[in-house]
Structure 1
Amino acid sequence: MDLNLSGKRALITGASRGIGAAIAEVLAEEGCDLDLAARSGPDLKKLAAQLGTDYGVNVDVHVVDLRQSHELDRFAAAVPVPDILINNAGDIPGGPLAAVDEQTWRHAWELKVFGYINLTRHLYTRMKTRGHGVIINNIGASGEGTDANYIAGSTGNAALMTFTRALGGRSLADGIRVLGVNPGPVATDRILTLMKAQARARFGDEDRHSELTAIFPLGRAATPREIADLIAFLASDRSAYTTGAVFTIDGGVSAAGL
């Protein structure tokens, strides 16, 4: 299926690895020029060079810490207004309430929760002036399933789900679609860190994390590419009548109430 994305420009945050890098590759395959943002300059530059060589697209790199409001403001004002914004940066730690102190909680939310909201605030205004745009928030299924052992992330994700639905419910009047994607566990370095934290909380032993992943549907986590493919479709005109919706991709875990 041709997604008709060739020639469009996409901005992806948290693009240096994991799901963000997978999204960048899928959109490059579809012919999108890219702005890639993250804190890791060497990883971004390596990915940009690879994508430019493999797919012949223009890729610009932006080394920025989006949890710093002055950096986010400056970046949002300077970057070309994208056709597609993918909010993806986040590093909320696992753990129950007693294990996540206020400083840790606020630090995590500055990047993911407020980072998504504030970058959207800036670029929505510019998209509205131009008359079109797509904003996709990569959120997380714990926002609907709720997990006491991932309480900072579960609570933050629930907030972003509501933000996405509230904004997206009216955004077509401005020519903009706002959508969310809720991945369940995805096979990245981050999921290993979270599974170890959950194993410590449940079993008192992080080395038992494989007991948690074994119960996933099909006995595995999703691949980053499986998440990226859905995001690419939602970003395309093939999905032109979708907005204010959050799509879950977790192998049925949330639907089963697991």
Structure 2
Amino acid sequence: MASLLITGASGGLGPAVVARLLRDGWSLSVAVHNAHSVEKLQSQFSGSALQIHQVDITRRDQVRRWVQSSHEIYGLVHLAGGFRGASQLSDAQEADFEFLFGLHARATYYLLAEVLPILKQKGEGAIVTISARTAIRPGKEAALYAASKAAELTLTLAAAEEGRPFQVRANCIVPAVIRTPANMQGASEKEIAKWTDPQDIAELIAFLVSDRAKSITGTIFPMYGGLSA
């Protein structure tokens, strides 16, 4: 079967998505940031159709080498993300800006710029990215995070329009809070119950990269769970 490229495979959402796509028979080429993540995935998915690469997705040369080393690429599932910095814009530091825009905007740009030409030439393919509710409904908090995720969302929608004449689809999933181990630390059971389950996101991704979604592109999928829009 054709292969999918996946970023953020060792993060809070990644293992659920990897397991779900492997069940559908996909060959997966995943990018992780460090050797520890490589070992973690090798242990979790031993014997599976999973190729693991250590890649800094904020560096275009490394993204290009990873993409070029993969064969029969059908699509990209971009899960990688992160958060840091002050909650108030007036307290944010330039280092926070560089980190967040590097991880969400620059990395998304590099990935799409390298993958899109391959998919357009093939005349088919699917791209799925993960943004965040705050990209659509920003508030006074986490402004840099919201802006960087909004850039990721916009780049995905632009990729959808570029790919449309070539049957290359691009869609973006927009969760509020995902029920990951990191997010659950210190949260109450009542709060956690309202969050989105990683398995639910994995199911949507599996649908979006399949032929069942061949007519769906340029679409934003809110997944807020029990939280308000």
Please report the TM-score for the alignment, with normalisation by the length of structure 1: 0.80
Q: 1:111 aligns with which of 103, 119, 130?
A: 103
- Give the corresponding residue for 1:63: 54
Conserved 8 A contact 2:75-2:209: yes
- Give the corresponding residue for 2:76: 85
- Give the corresponding residue for 1:237: 211
Q: Alpha-carbon deviations, 1:150-172, whole Å to 9, x = none?
A: 21111112222222223213422
- Residues 109/92 of structure 1: CA separation in 2 closer, same or farther (3 Å cut): farther
User: Counterparts of 1:168 and 1:174 in 2: how far apart (Å)?
Assistant: 10
- The 3-state SS of whatever aligns with 2:51 is strand
**Where in structure 2 are the equivalents of 1:130-209 lying within 5 Å?**
130-192=122-184
Q: What amino acid does structure 2 have at the position aligned with 1:121?
A: A
- Give the corresponding residue for 1:20: 14
- The 3-state SS of whatever aligns with 1:18 is coil
Conserved 8 A contact 1:92-1:112: no
User: Counterparts of 2:88 and 2:184 in 1: how far apart (Å)?
Assistant: 17
% identical aligned pairs? 25
Q: Alpha-carbon deviations, 1:90-130, whole Å to 9, x = none?
A: 11325221332112211221122110111111110111112
Q: What amino acid does structure 2 have at the position aligned with 1:188?
A: T
Distance apart, 1:87 and its partner CA: 1.0
User: Counterparts of 2:13 and 2:126 in 1: how far apart (Å)?
Assistant: 18
- Give the corresponding residue for 1:249: 223
- Residues 252/239 of structure 1: CA separation in 2 closer, same or farther (3 Å cut): farther
Structure 1 unaligned segments of length 5 or more: list them. 1-6, 194-208
Q: Please state which structure has a larger fraction of its residues in helix.
A: 1
- Residues 147/8 of structure 1: CA separation in 2 closer, same or farther (3 Å cut): farther
Q: What amino acid does structure 1 have at the position aligned with 2:206?
A: A
User: Counterparts of 1:176 and 1:23 in 2: how far apart (Å)?
Assistant: 21
User: Counterparts of 2:50 and 2:30 in 1: how far apart (Å)?
Assistant: 7
Q: 1:41 aligns with which of 35, 38, 61?
A: 35
Q: What amino acid does structure 2 have at the position aligned with 1:166?
A: A
- Residues 192/101 of structure 1: CA separation in 2 closer, same or farther (3 Å cut): farther
Deviating beyond 6 angstroms after TM superposition, the runs of 4 or more aligned structure 1 residues are none
Quote the RMSD (CA, aligned, Å).
Answer: 2.2
- The 3-state SS of whatever aligns with 1:83 is strand
User: Counterparts of 2:91 and 2:203 in 1: how far apart (Å)?
Assistant: 35
Distance apart, 1:22 and its partner CA: 1.3
- The 3-state SS of whatever aligns with 1:210 is coil
Please report the TM-score for the alignment, with normalisation by the length of structure 2: 0.89
- Give the corresponding residue for 2:3: 9
Structure 2 unaligned segments of length 5 or more: list them. none
Distance apart, 1:131 and its partner CA: 1.6
Distance apart, 1:190 and its partner CA: 4.1
Matched positions, count: 228
Conserved 8 A contact 1:37-1:62: yes
Q: What amino acid does structure 1 have at the position aligned with 2:219?
A: A
